[in-house]
A and B are shown apart, each in its own frame.
Chain A
């Protein structure tokens, strides 16, 4: 009974977030064709924010043991996504007309459409067709570099607006002797990408090896 409930919940979750990302890709492509890259963000903003923020649930799924993914892989991934979605794009509209927004949302949405349909199919049918599994464990080979470059580019572009606006920053003196500088914090995030990206990429390479060799021996 509990197992069936878990499967039903995960199936619903995965297909719901899938439809969010499908919308993002659809609006992004149609806007690019109809007007231009500067309007892409406005078209995708709502489904993007919804679908991306829903991923916070995945951290909880991992913590309570609903899924097997290690938190060391999900936390940095979701962290960087939320930082870019809310901390850069939503907070600094000056960045949203840049062409990197298009490459960003297209990279993200293609990856996520494949990923959520893969898991959604597994939950519904017990297994996923091998072509979908191949896609899930191969698309990152291109999408990670394009997505990560877009994220880095947008964070870098935002830096001058972050510094000028003083947004999210606290200055001394205050009773709790605390200060926070969003500009320097953003630079730290950029630096974390240096060891972080190879870590994520090699993690996925390992997962790919495990998954695709397993299906061969079956």
Chain B
């Protein structure tokens, strides 16, 4: 993806105001924070970079607008983690991400746990932008 395409997508979802000198600045009103929940270092690195390229902050201690939730994690899977987050009253957009859905029942269970969206891996920038559109609508 060229930098022009990235900028168009970012403008489209209202993440970055690019009218300023030197590439522009992030509008405070549209600043989005995200958390990547994945036990795999490769996916953590890639998903964090995708978010960074879209001007989204990937932080540890904050209230998150967006949580990217991997389904397949060994200690507590994404379904259980999502359920617990919702029980705790977390209102962030939670987008489930899974390597593959073995059956529709599993995906349904994941959605019913409290997801706002679901995408199959590999996560790409267009899929991430699609998730962010939902965040925009919710706000």
Say if A and B assemble together. no
